[in-house]
Amino acid sequence: MSSDCGWRLAAAVSNAGALGTIGSLGRTPANLRDEIRQCRAATDRPFAVNIACFQWAGFAGELLGVAIEEDVPAVTLSFGDVMPALRRSRAAGVRVTVQVQTIAAARVVLAERPDLLIVQGHEAGGHTGTRGTLSFAAQALGIAGGTPVAVAGGIGNGRGLAGVLAMGAAAAVIGTRFKATPEFGPLSNLDAEQKAALVESDGDDTVHGAITDIAIGMTWPPGIAGRVLRNRFTTDWLGRENELRQAVAARPEPYGWTSQHNQDQDTVLNWAGESAGLIDRVRPAAEIVEETVRDAESLLRVVADLTT
């Protein structure tokens, strides 16, 4: 989770009864400390901090240290070798959730008994793997034992939440839907335009591939790539990864596409999952939480009636 996901959204989600999360990717330790303190001032409910562990040699270890020092209720670990962070967090008494993208990774993490395992499917926005959400979730639930499992990827309303709860999951993780809220961002200088694009999306207009990271110049773990809304940049370069690498090497900041602060909707990266098709308007985070839970409860009652 990037720094666009800050204390305002985390606090709003937590205040509504879910678990809000502060993204740490792209933050400095000092900035993360400030975000945590502002979140704590805005809510008395639990919240989490997300740590991208593939950057452990960089800021990730320091960011985790800040989260521990600030006594955050929980951390969510993802991408790369999560074990050092998992063990350090547990030793500090912090609740640990771990997100995985493969069954092999799930088995390794489950052996360490995290407080919650998150299985992330291919439909997710931002960075994700290649497994489809439903089959991956069903397989992970079959090996989880006593560890609770949450499901991420393509879930954006009460139908999705009810579906994974009916499978036996403990929770759903919803990301893209909360981008279209007043509390998220601001999404660069194109905040209104990017949120409008999410509202207009039909869910068929996302693309997944390595071009996002080639343009940014960031190396993610093998098997992980980014999902964004389609625009001119993705149309021009998807399937031409080698040419893009050459273009970036020749001109490290071509067209300004590596910057989330440019003024060009055709080249900015608007991270979004397939659940973008479920977004009908920009609305407060609390409304989304309340509607999602209410609709899921209603649907689960229907399912219960079918079995009686």
Residue 88 sits in the same domain as residue 194: no
Residue 33 sits in the same domain as residue 129: yes
Give the pLDDT confidence score for residue 247 in this predicted structure.
86
- How many domains are contained in the chain? 2
Residue 78 sits in the same domain as residue 122: yes
Rounded Cα–Cα distance for residues 165 and 304 (Å): 12
Residue 200 sits in the same domain as residue 129: no
pLDDT at residue 71 greater than cutoff 70: yes
| Residues 202-240 pLDDT 10s | 999 999 999 988 888 888 999 999 999 999 889 999 999
pLDDT at residue 255 greater than cutoff 50: no
Rounded Cα–Cα distance for residues 259 and 299 (Å): 42
Percent of the chain scoring above 70 in pLDDT? 93
At position 223, the amino acid (one-letter code) is: G
Q: What average pLDDT does the structure give for the chain?
A: 92
User: For the residues 38-61, what does the mean pLDDT come to?
Assistant: 89
Rounded Cα–Cα distance for residues 14 and 20 (Å): 5
Give the pLDDT confidence score for residue 250 in this predicted structure.
82
Residue 192 sits in the same domain as residue 72: no
Rounded Cα–Cα distance for residues 124 and 69 (Å): 31
Sheet holding 171-173, edge to edge: 20-23, 47-52, 74-78, 95-100, 116-120, 149-152, 171-173
Residue 79 sits in the same domain as residue 129: yes
Is 199:280 a contact under the CB 8 Å cutoff?
yes
Rounded Cα–Cα distance for residues 286 and 171 (Å): 17
In a domain? residue 240: yes
Beta bridge partners of 118: 99, 150
Output the six-digit token pair for 6.
Answer: 């800050």
Beta bridge partners of 100: 119
Where residue 86 falls among pLDDT bands split at 50, 70, 90? very high
Rounded Cα–Cα distance for residues 62 and 59 (Å): 5
Output the six-digit token pair for 57.
Answer: 């040699």
Residue 64 sits in the same domain as residue 149: yes
Local structure of residue 271 (DSSP, 8 states) = B
Domain that residue 236 falls in: 188-276
Is 36:22 a contact under the CB 8 Å cutoff?
yes
Residue 235 sits in the same domain as residue 121: no
Place of tokens 């998992």: 86
In a domain? residue 282: no
User: For the residues 87-109, what does the mean pLDDT come to?
Assistant: 97
Where residue 304 falls among pLDDT bands split at 50, 70, 90? confident
In a domain? residue 245: yes
Give the pLDDT confidence score for residue 265 in this predicted structure.
79
Residue 161 sits in the same domain as residue 207: no
Residue 177 sits in the same domain as residue 237: no
At position 128, the amino acid (one-letter code) is: T
Output the six-digit token pair for 30.
Answer: 């000092």
Residue 263 sits in the same domain as residue 175: no
| Residues 110-159 pLDDT 10s | 999 999 999 999 999 999 999 999 999 999 999 999 999 999 999 999 99
Assign residue 33 the CATH number of its domain: 3.20.20.70
| Residues 24-46 pLDDT 10s | 988 899 999 999 999 999 999 99
In a domain? residue 2: no
Residue 231 sits in the same domain as residue 177: no
- What torsion do the CA atoms of 44, 1, 119, 69 make, to the nearest 10 degrees? -50
In a domain? residue 1: no
Q: Structure pTM?
A: 0.93
Where residue 262 falls among pLDDT bands split at 50, 70, 90? low
